[in-house]
């Protein structure tokens, strides 16, 4: 099993920045990809970004391209989401996710989840 713990959420004004971190523990050698998802009230959980744990290749949803950057530190078993130029529509609970053999957009395919961290962007 892999345990994931997020940190770094908070309240920020539109145009500001936040940095989310996710620390992985347990059987981290089994991780193939780590991703970030978000869920706004009344909406389905949506894909934000994913990174391949070994190659470092990344993939983003269109709405965050050029504003968000996902990165990983294999030595520290952490994945980070740097969020710049934040917009009110980015407001959501952000979840870190991991999987042993999947790196796509479908949140149902991910095996490991953090507890979530709230990001609120005021206008």
> For residue range 27-75, what is the model confidence (pLDDT) as tens digits?
988 899 999 999 999 999 999 999 999 999 999 999 999 999 999 999 9
The 10s digit of each residue's pLDDT in 77-95 is: 999 999 999 999 999 999 9
State the pairing for strand pair 58-60/68-73: unpaired
Residue 29 confidence (pLDDT): 86
Q: What sign results for the dihedral spanned by CA atoms 29, 72, 104, 12?
A: positive
Residue 38 confidence (pLDDT): 98
Q: How many CB atoms lie within 10 A of CB 65?
A: 11
The dihedrals phi and psi of 112, each to the nearest 5 degrees, come to -115, 140
| C-alpha to C-alpha distance for 60 and 11, rounded to whole angstroms | 23
């Amino acid at each position: 099993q892999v345990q994931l713990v997020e940190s770094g959420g908070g309240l920020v004004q539109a145009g500001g920045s936040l940095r989310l971190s996710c620390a992985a523990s347990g059987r981290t050698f089994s991780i193939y990809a780590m991703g970030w998802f978000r869920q706004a009230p009344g909406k389905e959980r949506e894909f934000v970004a994913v990174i391949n744990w070994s190659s470092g290749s990344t993939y983003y949803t269109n709405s965050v391209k050029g504003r968000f950057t996902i990165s990983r530190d294999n030595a520290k078993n952490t994945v980070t989401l740097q969020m710049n130029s934040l917009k009110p529509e980015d407001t959501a609970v952000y979840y870190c996710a991991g999987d042993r053999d999947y790196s796509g957009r479908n949140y149902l395919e991910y095996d490991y989840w953090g507890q979530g961290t709230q990001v609120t962007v005021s206008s």
